[in-house]
Amino acid sequence: MKTLNNLKPGEIGIVDHITAEGAVKRHFLDMGITKGVPVMMERIAPFGDPVAVRLRGYSLSLRREEAKKIVLEQGTHEK
């Protein structure tokens, strides 16, 4: 199972589903992280946390633990 956390800078994945529940899942949905949305890993902080991703025309910072809860479809590609 590939998650958003596994992407390298420049790689793009398509959101398959979110494993988070409750308020965290609602927060992801409010930010536009929904099934079928392309998400590109922009950069990773020097110590690995947080990560910056781009989706729906804006950048978003997520903690690694949050990124692990966003499952991607199989196969990714570079921008």
- Residue 42 neighbours by CB under 8 Å, 6+ apart: 9, 51, 52, 53, 54, 59
State the pLDDT at residue 48.
84
For the chain, 79 residues long, the average pLDDT of each consecutive 10-residue run is 90 93 92 93 92 94 93 72
State the pLDDT at residue 35.
93
The CATH number linked to 56 is: 2.30.30.90
Contact present, 39 and 13 (Cβ < 8 Å): yes
State the pLDDT at residue 76.
54
Could you tell me the residue range of the domain that residue 19 belongs to?
Answer: 4-78
State the pLDDT at residue 41.
94
As a whole number of Å, the CA-based R_g of the chain is 11
State the pLDDT at residue 21.
92
Domains contained in the chain, number:
1
